[in-house]
Chain A
Amino acid sequence: MSSPHSDNGSSDTPSTEGPPQERTSPLHETHTAAGASFTDFAGWQMPVRYSSDLAEHHAVRTAAGLFDLSHMGEIVLIGPEAGAALDYALAGKLSAIAIDQAKYSLLLSRSGGIVDDLVVYRTGEDRYMVVANASNREAVAQELRDRTAPFDVEVFDESDDIALIAVQGPAALSILLATDGLAADEGALDGEDFGERLSALKYYWSLPALFQTHPVLIARTGYTGEDGFELYIAPDNARALWDALIEAGTEQGLVPAGLASRDTLRLEAGMPLYGHELGLDTMPAQAGLGRVVNLAKDTDFIGRAASEEGPHPEAWVLVGLTGEGKRAARAGYPVYAHDDTTGQDAEVGVVTSGALSPTLGVPIAMAYVAPRFARENTPLLVDVRGTRLPFTVTALPFYSRKKR
Chain B
Amino acid sequence: MAAEQDLKYTAEHEWLLVEGDVATVGITAYAAEKLGDVVFVELPEEGSDVTAGRVVGEIESTKSVGELFAPVDGVVAEANSAVVDAPELVNSDPFGEGWLVKVRFTALPDNLLSHDEYAALTGE
Give A residues with C-beta under 8 Å from B. 1-9, 11, 37, 48-49, 52-55, 57, 260, 263-264, 326-328, 330, 355-356, 358, 385
Q: Are A2 and B67 in contact (CB under 8 A)?
A: yes
Assess A5 versus B64: contact at CB under 8 Å? Given A37-B33, A52-B91. yes
| Stretch in contact with the other chain, from B44-52, B55-63, B75-83, B107-115 | B55-63
Assess A1 versus B31: contact at CB under 8 Å? Given A49-B36, A52-B91. yes
Total A-B Cβ pairs within 8 A:
78
- 7 closest pairs, A vs B, by CB? A1-B66, A326-B40, A6-B64, A54-B37, A2-B67, A4-B35, A4-B34
Q: Tell yes or no: B68 within 8 A of A by CB.
A: yes
Instruction: Name the residue of chain A whose CB is nearest to the CB of B64.
Output: A6
Give B residues with C-beta under 8 Å from A. 12-14, 27, 31, 33-37, 39-40, 42, 58-69, 91
User: Once bound together, how far apart are the Cα atoms of A355 and B61, in whole Å?
Assistant: 9
Output the residue of B27, B39, B42, B68 with the most chain A CB within 10 A: B39
Q: Are A9 and B40 in contact (CB under 8 A)?
A: no
Q: Are A356 and B68 in contact (CB under 8 A)?
A: no
* Chain B nearest Cβ from A77, distance in angstroms: 36
* Chain A nearest Cβ from B54, distance in angstroms: 12
User: Once bound together, how far apart are the Cα atoms of A358 and B36, in whole Å?
Assistant: 13
Q: Are B13 and A53 in contact (CB under 8 A)?
A: no
Residues of B contacting A53 in the complex (Cβ-Cβ under 8 angstroms): 36-37, 61-63
Residues of A contacting B34 in the complex (Cβ-Cβ under 8 angstroms): 3-4, 37
| One of A1, A48, A263, A328 near B59 (C-beta < 8 A) | A1
Assess A260 versus B31: contact at CB under 8 Å? Given A1-B14, A1-B67, A53-B36. no
Assess A264 versus B62: contact at CB under 8 Å? Given A1-B31, A2-B67, A4-B31. yes
Q: Are B40 and A327 in contact (CB under 8 A)?
A: yes
Residues of B contacting A4 in the complex (Cβ-Cβ under 8 angstroms): 31, 34-35, 61, 64-66
* Chain B nearest Cβ from A397, distance in angstroms: 18
Residues of B contacting A3 in the complex (Cβ-Cβ under 8 angstroms): 12-13, 34, 66
Q: Are B36 and A260 in contact (CB under 8 A)?
A: yes
Residues of B contacting A52 in the complex (Cβ-Cβ under 8 angstroms): 36-37, 91
Q: Are B66 and A2 in contact (CB under 8 A)?
A: yes
A-B contact pairs, 14 of them (CB 8 A): A1-B13, A2-B69, A4-B35, A4-B61, A4-B65, A4-B66, A52-B91, A53-B36, A53-B37, A53-B62, A53-B63, A54-B37, A264-B62, A328-B40
User: Once bound together, how far apart are the Cα atoms of A57 and B61, in whole Å?
Assistant: 13
User: Once bound together, how far apart are the Cα atoms of A4 and B34, in whole Å?
Assistant: 7
User: Once bound together, how far apart are the Cα atoms of A356 and B38, in whole Å?
Assistant: 10
Q: Are B65 and A330 in contact (CB under 8 A)?
A: yes
User: Once bound together, how far apart are the Cα atoms of A1 and B68, in whole Å?
Assistant: 4
User: Once bound together, how far apart are the Cα atoms of A289 and B36, in whole Å?
Assistant: 32
Q: Are A2 and B12 in contact (CB under 8 A)?
A: yes
Residues of B contacting A328 in the complex (Cβ-Cβ under 8 angstroms): 40, 60
User: Once bound together, how far apart are the Cα atoms of A9 and B62, in whole Å?
Assistant: 11
Interface contacts beyond A1-B13, A48-B63, A330-B65: sample of 4 additional A-B pairs, CB < 8 Å, sorted by A: A1-B67, A9-B63, A37-B33, A355-B63
